[in-house]
Copies of this chain bind each other. A is one copy, B any other.
Amino acid sequence: MSKATIAVIAAVSAGAGAAATAAMYSLRSADKKPDIQTTTTTTTTKTVSKAAPIPPSQVFTQQTTTTSTAPLPVPGAVPVPQRTSSPVNPSGLFEYGFPGPISDIATRAALISSFDRRLRNPQWVVEHITADSLAQRDGDRKNSAFLEDPAVPDKFRAKLKDYFRSGYDRGHQVPAADCKWSQSAMDETFYLTNMCPQVGEGFNRDYWAHFEDYCRRLTTKYPSVRIVTGPLYLPRRDPADNKWYVKYEVIGNPPNVAVPTHFYKVIFAEEDGTSGGNGNVALGAFVLPNAPIPNDKPLADFEVPVEAVERASGLEFATKLPVARRKRLCAETSCSIVVREYAQRQQAFAKK
């Protein structure tokens, strides 16, 4: 744990001027519990017993209980006579429609994405790569075009015009290069529901691309690699008042799409090649600032405990993966990028 915590702190200073502040999330986890945990998602919903029910799609429950009007215990509260019936019915509001939030989940052959209607970014995008899938080369990105996703209602949709002249790249979360196995798969990666505004030079076109290449190279060691990628919006401490603030740009006119401060990847490298089996899984989590990163910065500096990504994103990863099956990716492999100096190679080639 302390190793991982130190890595996070290192990552904080690593951002080459960016506000990398994932530290407080992992520091707290270091205080309280080990990084690896086996809790399952707890139930947090009770069903409504009268009038309009909460839509089944919004009920996150494993064991349904009916609502009772019995008071929940309040420390220090004076017991009062118990009313047996309520004069109001809050759930009647749902007759007018359930407010949400709805995460638009797109299930495609190449990826599965969950879209945040408020920030107009994906919350996560899931992919799967193998040596075989990467070896197939039927798709070419010059045949693909960036696309608004019509599955998202218009008023919540990220638009091409939001990105236009914003100064940010339309940054793939699942890389196009991971889906060359068919043109249609590659095309699917070009939906804006797979895209976040990313700093181009020094990040999306450089360090982040090398990081994506690192993920692909894992398939030489592991028969199956699964990756979850998504944005983060992390606070940084303002030295002026010593308080923590989240600050991010919103692009578009009117402003529409949030610019994440950081990106995460949670990587599952499967030793036996299946997620449903009993084989070991090498887990790695990384948080990188949305900013230029020097190529000589070690990738391991950006390694964080999985729980740090969970606290920062509000999501949970690997809750059903037993501790006994987990390994630490950066202990099993060398977590380092290989910088391919494309420009230099091109020049060398041209001189031949």
A342 at the interface (CB under 8 A from B): no
Q: Is the CB of B86 within 8 A of A185?
A: yes
Which of B28, B132, B187 meets A77, CB within 8 Å?
B187
A136 at the interface (CB under 8 A from B): yes
Number of copies: 2
List residues of chain B with CB within 8 A of the CB of A91.
Answer: 107, 112, 126
Q: Is the CB of A60 within 8 A of B99?
A: no
How long is the Cα–Cα vector from A145 to B124 in the complex, in angstroms?
Answer: 38
Q: Is the CB of A25 within 8 A of B112?
A: no
Q: Is the CB of B105 within 8 A of A58?
A: yes
How long is the Cα–Cα vector from A171 to B186 in the complex, in angstroms?
Answer: 48
Near B by CB (< 8 A), chain A positions 240-263 give 243-251, 254-255, 258
Near B by CB (< 8 A), chain A positions 115-161 give 115-119, 123-124, 126-130, 132-133, 136, 138-139, 143-145, 147, 151-153, 155-156
Nearest-neighbor residue (CB-CB) of A26 within chain B: B254
How long is the Cα–Cα vector from A147 to B76 in the complex, in angstroms?
Answer: 11
Near B by CB (< 8 A), chain A positions 77-93 give 77-78, 80-83, 86-93
Interface of A is mostly: loop
Q: Is the CB of B112 within 8 A of A90?
A: yes
Tell which of A44-52, A206-214, A296-304, A344-352 binds the partner. Answer: A44-52
A343 at the interface (CB under 8 A from B): no
Q: Is the CB of B96 within 8 A of A268?
A: yes
Q: Is the CB of A46 within 8 A of B235?
A: no
List residues of chain B with CB within 8 A of the CB of A310.
Answer: 155
Q: Is the CB of B250 within 8 A of A247?
A: no
Q: Is the CB of A245 within 8 A of B245?
A: no
How long is the Cα–Cα vector from A59 to B59 in the complex, in angstroms?
Answer: 11
Q: How far is the CB of A143 from chain B (nearest CB, A)?
A: 5
List residues of chain B with CB within 8 A of the CB of A112.
Answer: 48, 54, 90-91, 93
Q: Is the CB of A315 within 8 A of B100?
A: yes
Q: Is the CB of A87 within 8 A of B184?
A: no
Q: Is the CB of A59 within 8 A of B60?
A: no
List residues of chain B with CB within 8 A of the CB of A101.
Answer: 101, 103, 114, 123, 313-315
List residues of chain B with CB within 8 A of the CB of A329.
Answer: none
How long is the Cα–Cα vector from A36 to B254 in the complex, in angstroms?
Answer: 20
What string of 1s and 0s marks CB contacts (under 8 Å) between A286-330 and chain B?
000000000000000000000100111111111111000000000
Tell which of A11-19, A65-73, A331-339 binds the partner. Answer: A65-73
How long is the Cα–Cα vector from A183 to B313 in the complex, in angstroms?
Answer: 36
A75 at the interface (CB under 8 A from B): yes
Q: Is the CB of A188 within 8 A of B71?
A: yes
List residues of chain B with CB within 8 A of the CB of A75.
Answer: 145, 147
List residues of chain B with CB within 8 A of the CB of A139.
Answer: 80
Q: How far is the CB of A165 from chain B (nearest CB, A)?
A: 12
How long is the Cα–Cα vector from A191 to B83 in the complex, in angstroms?
Answer: 20
17 residue pairs A–B, Cβ–Cβ below 8 Å = A44-B106, A46-B107, A60-B102, A71-B182, A71-B183, A72-B147, A72-B187, A80-B143, A80-B182, A87-B133, A87-B181, A95-B276, A96-B281, A96-B320, A101-B101, A117-B314, A118-B313
Taking A44-B102, A119-B314 as given, write out 5 further A-B residue pairs in contact, using a Cβ cutoff of 8 Å, ordered by the A residue number: A51-B275, A57-B59, A77-B143, A80-B183, A92-B275
Q: Which 3 residue pairs spanning A and B have beta carbons closest together?
A: A71-B184, A118-B314, A24-B254
